[in-house]
Structure 1
Amino acid sequence: MRLDDYDDGIQVRDQRGGNFGGGGGLGGGGGGLGLLLSFLPMLLGNRKMGCGTILIIGVVGYFLVAGGGLNLGSMLGGGQPATQGQVQGQGGSNLEESCNIDASSREVCNTLSSLDKTWGQMIQGYTRPTLTFFSQNGQSGCGAAQSAMGPFYCPADNGVYLDNDFFSELDQKFGAAGDFARRYVIAHEVGHHIQTITGISAKVRQLQSRASEAEGNALQVRMELQADCLAGVWAAKNKDRLESGDIEEGMRAANAIGDDTLMRNAGRRPVPESFTHGTSEQRKQWLNRGLQSGNPNNCNTFEGIF
């Protein structure tokens, strides 16, 4: 997928190198909120989620299943603290430095810029999300950020959080290589930002606050599938930039991170009631729906609910 160079208006922070002090990009901020992090409704002790709970929303799900816990870190081999001899990469002190530390960072910035331009043309009063680079560990408005979480969105500070090492895992361990696969991941997280600024997320959280565990998970699946569809809409709006093989890369990525596929690959029996992101088939279906229509109105996964 061919993208223009990023524009200077994108909101980027850099916590690589252990710089958690903030920097440019955030307006309202999320500091001081404390560790209010929850790894999706089914991880809550009371199996329900109150309206005030702040969630991170990642591209890949976390699972607690009978016989022991399973999380993304165990599948990625990540989430371990740095030991002697492991040095976190240094971050940039400004936008130009952060976006040009390496090719991966520049690709992320170019993708974010394209997403901002595309959604800014479709949504009146669109506000840009802030993308925060971190390495191994970081801090978000929703609490701690760790590589084992994978990329995620924090609605408390309208932030997308990313450790670029995830893309190597996406290629090597998930078998989803290619630039469009990586950009789909970022577009999915920005899809959660769209849900937040349009009020969809708030409606879902309200419903989840009085739902059972299974009902709350089912609502979360609808959230994730809608974010997949919105990622497809962005790509469709930039179809003149797509190259041969891009769509196939996206579909392979969606297939690789379906709940059922992740569970099977981890040696677990898929338990539909615990799904929070949807099956591989569902994720491909909704990504494709956005790709084919290019219309966010066709991404209504909540029809008949609100």
Structure 2
Amino acid sequence: METILAALYGTLCWLIFKVFKVPVNKWTITTAILGGAIMIGVLIGLMNYNHPFTHNARVYFVSTPVITEVSGRVDSVYVKGGGQSVRKGDTLFTLDDEIYRSRVLALYAQVKLARIRLKESRQLASVSAGTKFDVETYQSQVELYESQIREQKYNLQACVVVAATDGYVTQNRLVKGMRAVQFPLRPLMTIVNTSQGFIVGAFPQNPLQRVKVGNEAEVIFDAVPGRIFSGKVIEMGEYIAQGELQAFGTMYDFDTSHGQGAVPLLIELDEEMQEYFVPGGAKAQMAVYSEYLEPVSIIRKVLLRMKGWMNYLVGE
């Protein structure tokens, strides 16, 4: 923004000296430089405080990691990735379930035998040929095996991994024969939720007393050069990471530099963006316009539009 203002002022000075034939001497040059520096400095100060701008904004989205509840070899993969749409409950992939089927069958055999022994012990106890202890022992065995059967059936069903939510499977690398393990830090797939993404900008703390929920905002995307999207502030972050403390048993450390910390502002656009391809995670820039010094906001809007047109300039 400062560079654009300086360039505009420099162009204006050049036109004044050329068109109006203003003599070039140390007084006119000094006046032009000092006057421009003061004017630009005041404008920037007023704009940054009353109508803040940030180049650090982004489109965020929620993703759901796909993690198996059991370990096993991947038997079949039903999604190919590349943005394939899935619905909640759709089968993503299956694991080889032979070992879990065998465990269920083995437990059925054990519970069958335990039930026979329980029946026999009850008959013996009824004629005083057995003890109550034997009946209770076989009864507990039956209950134990039945609970283990329920557990193994759950594991057997978990061999079929389904989508937990509606969304899109992106960049799938899972193939048949891979080993799947119960490890939450290594998801096998990622589902990008179909819920609409949200735009968050990181603003400095200085203008917070001017900004509030409901203020007008404008957003430009690097992916959509020359286009301005209007919106409004719907949420202001009440906490920032620099002040977070956890139960580590450490004391306050004021010597460690954490920086000021930016405050996140959540923006809701007034229009749909279906006609534009803006991927999740796309970079954006935004300005928020407060109710103070509204005439100054016109300059901010002009500068924001100029930056939007500058997005046509692509460099390596």
Shorter chain as denominator, the TM-score bin is under 0.3
Q: Report the structure, 1 or 2, having the larger helix content.
A: 1
Structure 2 length-normalised TM: 0.20
Q: Report the structure, 1 or 2, having the larger strand content.
A: 2
**Which protein is bigger by CA-based radius of gyration?**
2
Structure 1 length-normalised TM: 0.20
